[in-house]
Amino acid sequence: MDHFPTNWGRPRNDAFDAYGTYPIHQRPQNTPKDKFSDGVQRTQQPIVTGTSVLAIKYKDGIMMSADNLASYGSLARFKDIQRLHPVGNNTVIGASGDMSDFQYIQTLLNEIIIDEFTSQDGHSLGPAEIHEYLSQVLYARRSNMNPLWNSLLVGGVRDGKSFLAYVDLLGTTYSASTIATGYGAYIAQPLLRDAVEGREDTLTEEQAADILENCMRVLYYRDARSLDKYQIAKVTEAGVIISESKHLKSSWSFAEGIRGYGAQIQ
Amino acid sequence: MPAMVSSMSQQPTQQAFNPYTENGGTILAIAGADFSVIAGDTRQSEGYSIQTRYAPKVFKLTDKAVLAVNGFAADGNMFVKKVRQRLEWYRHAHAKDMPIRAIARLIQTMLYARRFFPYYVYNILGGIEEDGTGAVYSFDPVGSYEREACRAAGAAQALVQPFLDNQIYFKNQTPAPGSSFPKHLPLTSVLPLVIDSFTSATERHIEVGDGLEIYVVLAKNSTALQSLQSLRGAQEVTTTADGERVFVIRRDLKKD
């Protein structure tokens, strides 16, 4: 119940002030306010960022990949960052966007996993629950105009069903058999759809890994914020395995032959 | 020099965070005499990118009310979640489902409650009224609503609504001498209109396509039942003890 009559709207009869709204009282300030509240900055833009994350469904579950780079603008600042993160026993999340926000999300997830574990009630959180939780957190933060600046992929296998879904800083969610964030949505997603759609139940682990490797290579050639060092996570009924960092083979010798722009003379 | 002083006292301009986006797609609903049809495509997009080919925009609320939401998908999903929560509370309090005209008013209140940070969502509610008639209620994002016989909303509203005005309300048509237009069309004419609306919208609008999900709510003893049971791929969702029945029909749309 709101006990402040001025918050109730105008009385029906302007001549008779039934609710005693005059003189107007000072409205209470219930939100925390201190000397520093004007100086608090909310995330207006991402600072240290990760680029695309790719994920597909295949025969045994889902496979996800991301490179090891965290950029500071156009500077390749941190070149050994892990952007794939296991959550519980059946789930992996991949993050693009602001890396400090991602680390905060990791602590949140760690907390709920521990809470769930400590209750020892035979339940645990699967990929669908993790995704629902993240979507509620990210939607609530955008609604407070204080977003967590990420695009996240959540993948996993639970009770024989594979799960792959997306959530971003606006709280937008969707699921599909292939998903790519960032630049990957433009460059890798068409390749992934071509290779995966309709073959989700037949693709083998090797085929899935090849598809992702190929897309990571195309991204490395075209995305200036990417790196040739990446990891692949696979989630199957057996659990989560995140690979060691792999090196992408690429060849730039063709660049010597390019004529028509740049500094070289014909 | 004065210019410099004023520029120093100015705050740096910042690009504010935009909490909204548009996720495309189109929805429509048509009311018959004793049935209601609520349909939406299943594509979700942002800009020129298709995010997924299957993200439902039409949701069954009760055994005789179906809600279609279109606009900003995150707001839409949250809004449906909150409406369903209120309907569950109503069910616990009154041991019955909320009637559709009450759901319509509830939706208005819930939308207007967010007048100054709106759910960026166009809602169309379809179902069966307590008197057994087919109903369609349409809303704007801040809660203005009215009961109508048909409504289209979303990306291809401008393509579909004029077609519906012509085919459902017989706008710009003159009846043959001595005859008049019917007030309500039978389900056998409504379903082809719905499917044609979406195939046409898919041809001409890039944000519409992939799949079509049509919910049909029948009043008890509805004459439309027979035509539904012979229809390819019509799948029954629920039947009430009173005799209202909900069906869903899924069709492919072009994926390009």
- Rounded distance, CA A7 to CA A24, Å? 10
**At A46, which helix (H) or strand (E)?**
none
* Res B4 pLDDT > 50: no
Active centre residues of A (catalytic): 43
* Residue contact B49–A173, C-beta within 8 A: no
* Residue contact B17–A145, C-beta within 8 A: yes
Buried b or exposed e, range A114-123, using 16+ CB within 10 angstroms: eeeeeeeeee
Q: Write out pLDDT tens, residues B127-142.
A: 999 999 999 999 999 9
Which pLDDT value is given to residue A23?
58
pTM, rounded to two decimals: 0.88
Question: Which of A180, A237, A245 minimizes the C-alpha distance to A62?
Answer: A237
Q: Write out pLDDT tens, residues B148-179.
A: 999 999 999 999 999 999 999 999 999 999 99
DSSP state of A228: S
- Rounded distance, CA A183 to CA A1, Å? 49
* Res B31 pLDDT > 70: yes
**At B28, which helix (H) or strand (E)?**
strand B26-31
Q: What is the nearest CA distance from A258 to chain B, expressed in angstroms? A: 31
Tokens of B34: 């004793």
Q: Looking only at Cα atoms, what is the longest distance across chain A?
A: 89
Q: Which residue of A has its CA nearest to B22?
A: A172
Q: Which residue of B has its CA nearest to A180?
A: B51
pLDDT confidence band for A1 (50 / 70 / 90): low
Give me the helices (H) in chain B, please: 2-9, 73-94, 100-112, 157-167, 187-204, 225-229
Mean pLDDT, residues B16-38 taken together: 96
Which pLDDT value is given to residue B3?
46
Mean pLDDT, residues A92-102 taken together: 97
Q: Write out pLDDT tens, residues A184-219.
A: 999 999 999 999 999 999 999 999 999 999 999 999
* Res B10 pLDDT > 70: no
- Contact residues on chain A for B117, CB-CB shorter than 8 A: 143
A200 touches chain B (CB under 8 A): no
Q: Write out pLDDT tens, residues B218-234.
A: 999 998 998 888 888 88
ipTM of the complex in this document: 0.91
- Rounded distance, CA A88 to CA A235, Å? 11
pLDDT, mean over chain A? 90
Q: Which residue of B has its CA nearest to A166?
A: B51
Which pLDDT value is given to residue B7?
42
* Residue contact B74–A170, C-beta within 8 A: yes
* Residues listed for chain B: 256
Mean pLDDT, residues B20-48 taken together: 97
* Residue contact B49–A189, C-beta within 8 A: yes
Which pLDDT value is given to residue B9?
46
pLDDT above 90 as % of chain B = 84
Of residues A9 and A157, the one with the higher pLDDT is: A157
Give Cα B109 distance to the centre of its chain: 18
A230 touches chain B (CB under 8 A): no
Q: Write out pLDDT tens, residues A242-252.
A: 999 999 999 99
Tokens of B134: 């087919």
